[in-house]
Structure 1
Amino acid sequence: MEICLKRAFNYETRPTVSCKHLPWVADRSNAEVKRNVNCDLYEKKVYVRQCIVGKGEDYRGKVFTTKSGLICQQWWSKFPHDHWWTPTASNGLELNYCRNPDGDNIGPWCYTTDPERRYESCNIPQCKDEVCITCNGEDYRGQVDHTASGKECQRWDQQHPHQHIYQPEKYPDKSLDDNYCRNPDASPVPWCYTTDPLVERENCNISKCLEKRQRSSFTTNCFRGRGEDYRGKINETLSGIPCQRWNAQNPHEHPFYPNIYECKGLEENYCRNPDGSEAPWCFTSVPEMRTALCLQIKRCADDIEAEDCYQENGKNYRGAVRKTRKGVTCQRWNVNTPHRTKINPLTHPEANLTENYCRNPDGDQHGPWCYTTDPKTEFDYCAIKQCGTNPFYLLTPLVEFSECGKREDRIQSFLRIVNGIPGNSPWTVSLRDRKGNHFCGGSLVNSRWVISTKQCFSSCYVDLPGYSAMLGTLFRDPQEDEPSVQIIPLTKIVCGPSESQLVMLQLEFPAQFNERVSQICLPPERYIVPEDTECEIAGWGETKGTGDETVLNVAKVRVLSNSGCNQYFRGRVRESEMCTNSFQGGVGACEKDYGGPLACRNSDCWVLEGVIIPMRRCGHPGQPNIFIRVSVYVDWIKKVMEMA
């Protein structure tokens, strides 16, 4: 496309790509604008920018009053002040707008309509001063679009002249608008890619706010969201490895100097999150392991306070609570917006589905629920607690499966976990972040759904664009041309009942089943796996030097009764959790295994009996492993899939 030097143009995509120039001055109501379904109207940024870059010679905004409030004189007029400037098609001297045709250091100015005051500055703010930055500018949303050296920034949605990973659709929370300076990667200051082919990126010159923002949200015993405000004193990884001091560069060199990242709390060797990772982390004191998440730090409870209570499973609850546990208002049962209801007063006339009150028409064992007014969350449990503690029961029913949980055990290529060995687990999913890096595991329970753990995500409302599930590979970083690999974007996250620590992730399109990709079976509701049953854990997580860290590892473990497990953990293991022994010198799940499966064979099929969750230590010799017991939440899992 030819370079358009005029004020605005139509960019025509069909039948040919061409520029249709519009007049330099097109503010009048009779300005002709071409309207066509194949044509978009663009306007040069200098005409819409409300601040100036440098001296503001290219300022084309519409301010027409001076800093003292005087009305500007028309540029074509010689009264009350005579002058030699003549409006042309190139100098931008339109109407009586402030301009800087002579490059005056005072910035844009104008002749005034006051006979006693010939001209005056219009005091147009510098773009770099219009919005100041706090901390390192991660929250900067101003309109500076030039680097400190004056280079124009490249648009974030363009890959020319520099290719990059920060596409706006992958990072919707980073506000990568137009070509404005931003800080999506926790650099010391906002920056941008440049339009200079020889200079990839440069920092921007943006003023720092004089008053430091005071934060009242710091936490010490738990963390919220991604944990940027965590200021506790945990200083070791989940594996028990001491953290490296932030002011040290050994054994790992890094850019996070405490004096540069002053507001990130980089004290001593405490776990912190200076770069917006999924949770607090640290550099480790082990040369072979650069970083590790500190997932032993608990997440702060994000449920609102219960407003009522219910008996048993709440099927007979008739109270007036109409909020979910997250504080979202319930959708009325008799309407179909924003969600089309499969359960309503017509389908369940006996359930008292009036207005938008919380009810339990389907006998959900996790209590009253409702459809929500949040378009992204179809249903959720309500801000209601049990009035008392109901007896917890588990069953050992006859198990029958059909097509799920099948695999070709002859496939024994390279595979990862502490003291694990290469193996085959076709339902194990690698969850990938926006940069394409593996960060957690998951299990494929349906062609469109994956189960993982909440600890892998910052919240139940995390922006998923850019996140994906990788299936069909044994390798953590497979070759681009590996034929069996399937990479499917994640489109939806659904958090399980509050105590479950589970999440379900919806895939954008169905996975294709083959010998490398298959779904694992779900157990019957409340099923309890017999003690000493041999099961498998699988993942691409930390091996602590006991395995190949580039491939999936599978390790065999045996189920331990909860009573035996509680002897070790002093009664802290709940019935909604299950345990396995630690054999073979400390077999266990570590960082980046979390969310993966504990699979047990039953009736010639593999069944998802547990989900890997973080523990105080991982793969610790003699320490039992704890998992979420999936059978307790099977009804919720099926409900999510049915309602989608």
Structure 2
Amino acid sequence: MDLYKAAFLLGALVCTVSSNEVDGYVKTEGAWILSLQKRVYSANTADECATRCNTETSFTCRSFIFTEKDQECRTAAANSKSETVLRRSSTVLYEKQVYLLECVNGIGTDYRGTKSKSKSGKLCQRWEGKFPHRPNITPQSHPLADLESNFCRNPDGDSGGPWCYTTDPNTRWEHCNVSSCTEECIYCSGEKYRGKISITENGFTCQRWDSQTPHNHGYNPSALPEKFLEENYCRNPDGDPRPWCFTTSESKRWDFCSIPRCTAEPPTIVPEMSCATGEGGAYRGTIAVTESGKRCQSWSAQTPHKHNRTPENYPCKDLDNNYCRNPDNERMPWCYTTDPETRWEYCRVPSCGNSSRPGDPVIPPEEEDCYEGNGSTYRGITSETVSGKKCQFWNSMFPHSHSKTTSNFPTADLKRNLCRNPDEDRAPWCFTTDPSVRWEYCNVEKCSSVSSTQSTSMFDNPFVDTQTPEQQDCKIGIGETYRGPTSITLSGVTCQQWSSQSPHQHNSFTPQSHPDKGLEGNGCRNPDGDVNGPWCYTTDRNKKWEHCDIPDCATLDCGSPVIKPKRCFGRIVGGCVSKAHSWPWQISLRTDNGVHFCGGTLIHKQWVVTAAHCLESSKRPSAYRVVLGIHTERAAEASKQERRLEKLVLGPNGADIALLKLERPALLNDKVLPACLPDKDYIVPSGTECYVTGWGETKGTGGDGVLKEAGFPVIENKICNRPSYLNNRVKDHEMCAGNIEGGTDSCQGDSGGPLVCYAQNSYILQGVTSWGLGCANAMKPGVYARVSKFVDWIERTIRTN
């Protein structure tokens, strides 16, 4: 090729039209972008809007925004790479995937990424620029080649791939270092590897991530959408040195994958020198002592502690000295210590902007977990959206970049990933950890509806909702079955008839298009599964549609305590004292003369689950009593219920679980209520926040004699079985949970008690406190019988006894 590049091939971007027009687009719900170049159309479907974008002639369409309720389509020249993504209800942002990729297919004539430096690091000249070089390939000569900035492109089909004119007067043009989309390689430790290798380095075929056979695991794709656990492809969801997978061989639980490192430059990060954002992955400061004052061991050294967190295994993590770092997705920066007795500790690195870190403790307020007004003063600890999605940490920019930070909203209490309302929206909300859903309102009730529902007497038949949704002016869940009479919106506007086209024309939601959605009148409904609840088109010509204020229906069901728990979580030594009767399934297992020695969980009005080892002293039911409805170990409350036992049933195959049949059923009320059982074989996703309760040994942390609670994350068995943790002692029918740095744990006297996890408005019994190596020791989390593995046995035992 001569010095002046000849234009012999027009690099045209062709959008493929298929039966599904949105193929090739990345979808993000609840997102909106501003663009100077845009067009607004009317469209009934996202496919129609995609067609508008694919055939746009006014500019290069890189994305579109579709609002189904408004039947509005906005095509745009911008996307999330060039413009800030904003938060907006009921909109969906579709971005052409080709403009988001930072890799090339073939020679890269279709490359539309944002690299703007040549291979030697020279900044690219703008394609329409005249200095320092007068180009002969311009936006005018190649109108379909996307030469609108200074990004690397291949408008002439150069066999060497994308290139650009440079800003160096001595170098007219140069190729760019853009990696291949089809090249199977990893950057750093492969945390963002999205390739399709599914064979391990030892030749094992990978097990699908959404399968639990032959190996059970806690890496659930639906619960961890940000980890991209697709098919059976090798991935690195837990900070290992490189991608791995569970295998289809029963003899090999998991294995690393052999994927070469990419030769192109790794992604850059903005180093944080004096503070840490989020989990501190970008911290590059010089702190080299731990929280307790111990000096850090050099990352390249193997004494006094041997390890694999080496500069070679983690090449992008700046492990060159002994500075505190976070190479493996821990809660915050840490290091191995020079103390032979202390393997590692976290470091006290200041958090940027006074924001809290993932490992910081949370002691919730004493008031009920509900919000007043629009929830701008809400300070509760809910971190789950109305559709059950986990909230993204406020000081994290992944998977969603945003401006709702502590520095921008200093009075909004943006701690951890707790639901808040920093911008005066109508209710608490959060960004979600699902890349395809930018934000949602949170699963928090308004205080007025909480008080009104709890004042209703429901104890005659607590597990049966005697009214149908059609008879109640309240909603269940997001209100898809709501058929009540309310026809007024949040701002007090009367709803338009669903069959009417005045004052607002609409074709998406009519009695004819959705005959089973209750659209016969003008009542508030939820025909599209809007996670924010029922809505309607309004009779106000200036407001096309709006949500309605429909309270949640009152229920008293398993796992739904009337008195909401504190849910104290994090590194709170010894946990905290519970609110009285906020864990109404907790029972005290006692000797025949009334001495408490173990815990247990009410799962049915006449059945309790506990640990089998609690029954080692005697197999006679008469040797034990169960006490329910108490908060203090003294059991002097008027709400106390005491039951003798009719039967003991030990778990199958020697597992540490047992069932106790009460001599007569418990009286269910607001202080005695069963916990829910999990789905059969369900594996709690790694990192899920769960809670243990009990009257056990407090090791001098206070609260003796009253029920205490502690919250901490589930630890996947793969991690828990590492040599430095519990060294392969944990079996498939068991699970681990705890703070790996220690400080909080279940202990003697808590055995047999519940480990419950909150999901979709209920507390579910996922574990039975079983064993541990000491109490609250670092890297020695508690071990629990995995209840989901015994659901069949539990249900069969209750049915036949």
Give the TM-score normalised by the residue count of structure 2: 0.30
Identify the structure with bigger relative contact order (alpha carbons < 8 Å, sequence gap 6+): 1
Give the TM-score normalised by the residue count of structure 1: 0.37
